[in-house]
Structure 1
């Protein structure tokens, strides 16, 4: 549904003569708000929850200083997990003699690399749109509903796999690169899900999601500005796995 809404919005924007970055980012905003947040909140309202109960069910409240610290620690865990997954993939491909795994690419990464003036807008969208909207659906609705019937570990695991697979359509490139990117996304989803389970605060995981994506956007900008080669390759799966 998100893809359909984004495509429709993008088509309208293109017909209006808007630039590619504006069309892509604008389509993302509309698709996220309607396809993720709108659908999720409508579902909770359909279940009979009023607005106060929706806030309570999702766990929407101001983060404490301790929770802000957990956001930073969790982000480091995501980075470490991505590095481990990438290293493991390289070792496996070398053992199998299949060469270095290629990279999977997200369309948004190419657009931002070619149009760095849109980086500040993209960062704002990560915090105000992508983080909150995706977390309402994945952690608030999917993981929340699974937790009503399952223990924490399987609920987090299933949600993380769903989170990763839903982004497959936005990837292009080699099959090996796509597998690595999806694995990195699964690690990211596991950390997000674990943090949500521990804090029961959707704002915390939305901030982590937005911060993580923003760091990736900055990495794209810095890599393009400095032509970082080997350093960029180390965290390439993070860039290709941008959850947008």
Structure 2
């Protein structure tokens, strides 16, 4: 579907003077920054409003609310605004029920993402002796293990779909308008991995290491999207991947 003709707008006038590769990367970065920054600002505004009303949410409810505001409202909302601005519908990102081939990609992608992540962690932690950063969701789960159970559900409902819609459906698709598949996938995956920096805690070296580790499962999500042209496929894989990690973290916390 062709974009709306808005060539007379000031934004398009400026964009028309920027080389296509530079414009594609800048657009991708801007979408990521607006998504993350907008979600943070909305979360801060809601927290201040609740505080002014004398409402102190428990940790579990606060975690659910922050996920709804970021991956739910902000990521879905920004994606919808972008599609509307470009004059595209959901066909641009590919939203449909997976067929048999799609489900095969789901199974293979989940196994590959998980095996790749475990292998990289083994190499980095046990063989090289390096220490990745701690994910804040893990820190919260240590305080209240029920958070892991809630996150398992949210992984399928909001986290996987929201992140895949923005970073694969919107950002990767925008990059693919200009770049080849390998370049578009690599840049989109790098942006996706770096976007998790705000949810990590620890020294800079540990954060950089974790971002590097996140690149590999992200690469699997990106490749399955490229192969299927259906954002639902990587959304399911992402949900399964995160849900497995949350389930393992819950068992480890409760049993430990």
| Same fold, TM-score > 0.5, yes or no | yes
CA contact (8 A) 2:97 2:232 kept: yes
RMSD of aligned alpha carbons? 1.9
Residue 178 (structure 2) pairs with residue 149 (structure 1): yes
CA displacement at 1:91 relative to structure 2:
7.4
Residue 78 (structure 2) pairs with residue 39 (structure 1): yes
Residue 38 (structure 2) pairs with residue 9 (structure 1): no
CA distance in 2: counterparts of 1:45 and 1:188, whole angstroms: 30
Residue 221 (structure 2) pairs with residue 186 (structure 1): no
CA distance in 2: counterparts of 1:66 and 1:203, whole angstroms: 13
Q: Secondary structure at the match of 1:204?
A: helix
CA contact (8 A) 1:3 1:31 kept: yes
Q: Following superposition of structure 1 onto structure 2, how do residues 38-187 of structure 1 map, counting pairs within 5 Å?
A: 38-49=77-88, 54-90=89-125, 93=128, 100-187=129-216
Scaled by the length of structure 1, the TM-score of the pair is 0.82
Scaled by the length of structure 2, the TM-score of the pair is 0.78
Segments of 5+ residues of structure 1 without an aligned counterpart are 94-99, 228-244
Which string of whole-angstrom CA distances, capped at 9 and with x for unpartnered residues, describes residues 178-213 of structure 1? 233111211111100000000111111111111111
CA distance in 2: counterparts of 1:161 and 1:28, whole angstroms: 22
CA contact (8 A) 2:149 2:250 kept: no
Aligned residue pair count: 217
CA contact (8 A) 1:21 1:112 kept: no
